[in-house]
Amino acid sequence: MPGKWKSMLPARSYGIRLLVLAILFIVGFCMQYKVPVFRPKEEHPINWSQKLVEKSIELAHCERKLLLNTQNKRKMALNVLTPWLAPIIWDGTYDINILDNQHNSTRIGLFVFAVKKYIRFLLPFLESAERYFMVGHNVIYYVFTDKVNEVVKPKMADGRILQLHYVVSDQRWQDVSMRRMEILTVFTKEHMANEIDYLVCADVDMVFNDHVGVEILGDLVATIHPAYFLSEKGTFTYERRPISTAYIPHGHGDFYYMAALYGGKVDEIYKLSMACRKGIVEDKKKNIEAVWQEESHLNRYLVYNKPTKVLSPEYLWDTNLPNGELIKKKRFLAVHKNHKEVRN
């Protein structure tokens, strides 16, 4: 059969063979040296500048409008993880139904001081907590005041308890604020250890304004100060004098935390308050006081004992601050106070 084929081929087939070989050679040559002859022609070239315009319109519609801002703002306000991989809690970063189920038997404490003229903030604080704080969970309010008899109890839901405790009122407001650490060292150890699993510590001159639930619970939890959440580290108002026990050298530290909301497991708050209390006492012996009192000591502690969870400024906001458009939910708001009226 093959012989038959051979005999059937015309003489000019040698020419054809040569032609095919030549074509193959040229094609191979062009492919090897990337001669552009064989590149497919783009029928509809992509208009990249048009694409960019479309993208920026899309981003402009982003719910939190974060991407419209400058590089720095964009980076900081989109952070959902710390450099040590702890979550930073923003709206949309958790599923509250799953977490509520996980915490159905968790006992939570809310620790607050209302001394001297700050007693006026207590009722709105507690009423707003009934509305937004750990709704549906077991809560004990630990209220410390020098005016136990003046406390007006809010209407409270089942599973919620108000504990009133007497505390001396210090003359200096700085000492009132710092005494919270001393009281915490005693109460976390002696009372709270058996009564609750997690403790949340808050300023009283605040109101809950939106959901604050079990998503904030963790071993050690701190909140980013709303005035510094877009700031460079170098501008943080840490204690910078090496003589203070709250000293944080330049280059150290991750966030500037605000002492108006932090929390954690009871034994973690015991350790934290012991360390801060010790620092405050040592400073007093040297007749110095950290620049932002217990907030400076808290920041120092948290630089070297990293929080396992960080709360975004959604959890501490003041409507007088700039950049409020970056904060979708303003969950815990500073009350605008007349400083002259509340000064002691």
Q: Which residues bind ligand 4GW (CB under 6 A)?
A: 112-118, 173, 176-177, 203-205, 260, 342-344
Q: What are the φ and ψ backbone dihedral angles of 220, each rounded to 5 degrees?
A: -145, 115
Subset of residues 174 to 203 that bind Mn ion, contact rule: CB under 5 A? 203
The letter for the amino acid at 125 is F
295 is catalytic: yes
Subset of residues 202 to 231 that bind Mn ion, contact rule: CB under 5 A? 203, 205
User: Of 295, 314, 325, 341, which is the active-site residue?
Assistant: 295
Q: What are the φ and ψ backbone dihedral angles of 5, each rounded to 5 degrees?
A: -55, -45
Report in angstroms how near the CB of residue 233 gets to ligand 4GW at its nearest.
21
Q: Rule CB under 5 A: is residue 314 a binding residue for Mn ion? A: no
Residue ranges of E strands in the chain: 88-89, 107-113, 138-145, 160-166, 198-202, 206-208, 220-224, 257-265, 309-311, 332-334
Cross-strand bridge partners of residue 220: 264
Cross-strand bridge partners of residue 167: none
Report in angstroms how near the CB of residue 310 gets to Mn ion at its nearest.
20
The residue among 173 and 247 lying less far from ligand 4GW, judged by its C-beta, is 173
Residue nearest to Mn ion (CB): 203
Q: Which two tokens stand for residue 170?
A: 């210090």
* Residue 265 binding: pick among Mn ion, ligand 4GW, none (C-beta 5-8 Å cut-off by kind): none
* Residue 101 binding: pick among ligand 4GW, Mn ion, none (C-beta 5-8 Å cut-off by kind): none
Report in angstroms how near the CB of residue 205 gets to Mn ion at its nearest.
4
Report in angstroms how near the CB of residue 337 gets to Mn ion at its nearest.
8
If DSSP states are collapsed to H, E and C, what string results for 36-104? HHHCCCCCCCCCHHHHHHHHHHHHHCCCCCHHHCCHHHHHHHCCCECCCCCEEECCCCCCHHHHHHHCC
The residues assigned a catalytic role are: 295
Q: Which residues bind Mn ion (CB under 5 A)?
A: 203, 205
